[in-house]
């Protein structure tokens, strides 16, 4: 293995759902001042899955363009990160592997640690490429964020999948060493096996997030990482977009910098645009921020980007990456924007119907109505088995 081997993100693609509930619609229903949503948490809409959409259909839709562009010949591993798993045993990525017709000589696993799982998947993929640079790893982060109706977290729901091809000599972003790490045993957000919706202590979660930002940065600095001023932009996990602003101010303050709002916006503003329309996508969130940044920024060639990945409970990681020359030729900007603009707005009654939908648990045959116009759908639940198909 070459000592100067570079590994990172070779391609990135994201997908979201058929429907969107705008925050204007939500505010009109519950009598909330729209400023609480648009300004207070920085959200404009939240993606809502159709009855025949879930983490698998979004993941396959995100990954298919990558496999089509690069083929599956060198992809020996799929790592699927999610906290919205559809099965307690079988990896959701196996369904994706089947839908995309990938070779049987592939390892497929699923990772879980709240919203941090996508970064764990990326780092594990990097390790595999260092072991064998001829291979590529397909990393998929896909989630549906769901809280109880009328819960304070309801307005931060969302859904999306991000697929990344990790390889040697990447065409988009070289991932750098070191990483700064932080873990603390905190019950700020959790979902027991017997619940379909998450539980969250909002105040505790914000406090835990900010503590993790400081802790991960401290370790990053101690490991010999870049100085803060060397980064041109920062991608944060975004449970809601204003949390990224709060986190970046905290990092600047923690490093002894004055809080300059123009500097804060310059550092993270572009990374929040997709998340503001899609909502919280858990494991995919920080990489949806990366896609938004790459798609919209002026030339970032040679620039360093900082990443702060946070997962409640809690685990965090800070690391850096450098944008590769020629990256703009590989972007999927139009496709990404279309994924957001093509969603159908729904009223609150339809959203509530979809939110409350659940499958019977009797093991019978339960076909799913055709709703999605995406490339893959959940066709049925039969004998306790989920059946997926191309649309």
What distance in Å separates the CA atoms of residue 124 and residue 299, rounded to the nearest whole number? 29
- 325-349 residues labelled b (16+ CB within 10 A) or e (exposed): eebeebbbeeebbebbeebeebeee
Number of residues that make up the chain? 391
Strands 304-311 and 231-236: parallel
- Strand residues in the chain grouped as ranges (E): 7-15, 19-22, 45-48, 75-81, 107-111, 136-145, 158-168, 173-175, 180-183, 189-190, 199-200, 231-236, 304-311, 315-323, 344-345, 365-367, 376-382, 385-390
Q: List, by residue number, the catalytic residues.
A: 83, 115, 237
What radius of gyration do the chain's Cα atoms show? 20
For residue 24, the surrounding DSSP H or E stretch is helix 23-30
Q: For the chain, how are helix, strand and coil distributed in percent, rounded to 5?
A: 40, 25, 35
What distance in Å separates the CA atoms of residue 219 and residue 82, rounded to the nearest whole number? 26
Residues 107, 315, 147, 34: is their CA dihedral positive or negative?
Answer: negative
Region at 212 (left for phi over 0; alpha for psi -120 to 50; beta for the rest) = alpha
What distance in Å separates the CA atoms of residue 108 and residue 97, rounded to the nearest whole number? 8
What distance in Å separates the CA atoms of residue 119 and residue 111, rounded to the nearest whole number? 10
For residue 288, the surrounding DSSP H or E stretch is helix 285-296
What distance in Å separates the CA atoms of residue 136 and residue 246, rounded to the nearest whole number? 36
Cβ atoms of 157 and 286 within 8 Å: the answer is: no
């Amino acid at each position: 293995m070459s000592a100067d081997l570079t590994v990172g993100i070779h391609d990135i693609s994201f997908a979201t759902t058929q429907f969107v509930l705008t925050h204007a619609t939500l505010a009109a229903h519950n009598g909330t001042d729209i400023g609480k949503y648009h300004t207070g948490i920085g959200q404009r809409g939240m993606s809502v899955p159709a009855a025949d959409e879930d983490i698998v259909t979004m993941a396959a839709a995100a990954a298919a363009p990558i496999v089509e562009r690069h083929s599956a010949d060198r992809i020996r591993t799929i790592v699927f990160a999610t906290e919205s798993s559809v099965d307690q045993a079988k990896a959701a990525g196996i369904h994706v592997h089947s839908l995309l017709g990938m070779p049987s000589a592939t390892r497929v696993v699923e990772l879980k640690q709240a919203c941090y799982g996508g970064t764990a998947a990326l780092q594990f993929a990097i390790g595999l490429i260092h072991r064998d640079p001829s291979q590529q790893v397909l990393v998929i982060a896909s989630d549906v964020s769901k809280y109880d109706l009328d819960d304070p977290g309801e307005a931060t729901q969302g859904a999306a999948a991000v697929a990344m091809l990790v390889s040697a000599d990447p065409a988009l972003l070289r991932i750098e060493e070191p990483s700064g790490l932080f873990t603390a045993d905190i019950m700020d957000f959790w979902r027991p096996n017997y619940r379909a919706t998450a539980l969250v202590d909002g105040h505790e979660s914000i406090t835990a997030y900010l503590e993790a930002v400081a802790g991960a940065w401290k370790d990053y600095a101690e490991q010999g990482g870049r100085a803060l001023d060397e980064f041109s932009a920062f991608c944060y996990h975004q449970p809601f977009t204003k949390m990224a602003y709060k986190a970046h101010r905290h990092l600047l303050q923690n490093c002894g910098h004055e809080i300059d709002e123009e500097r804060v916006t310059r550092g993270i503003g572009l990374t929040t645009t997709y998340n503001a329309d899609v909502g919280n996508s858990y494991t995919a969130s920080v990489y949806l921020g990366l896609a938004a940044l790459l798609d919209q920024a002026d030339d970032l060639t040679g620039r360093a980007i900082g990443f702060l990945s946070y997962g409640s409970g809690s685990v965090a990681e800070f690391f850096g990456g450098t944008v590769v020359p020629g990256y703009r030729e590989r972007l999927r900007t139009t496709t990404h924007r279309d994924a957001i603009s093509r969603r159908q707005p729904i009223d609150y009654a339809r959203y509530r119907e979809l939110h409350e939908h659940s499958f019977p648990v009797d093991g019978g045959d339960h076909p799913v109505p055709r709703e999605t116009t995406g490339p893959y759908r959940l066709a049925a639940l039969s004998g306790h088995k989920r059946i997926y198909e191309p649309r």
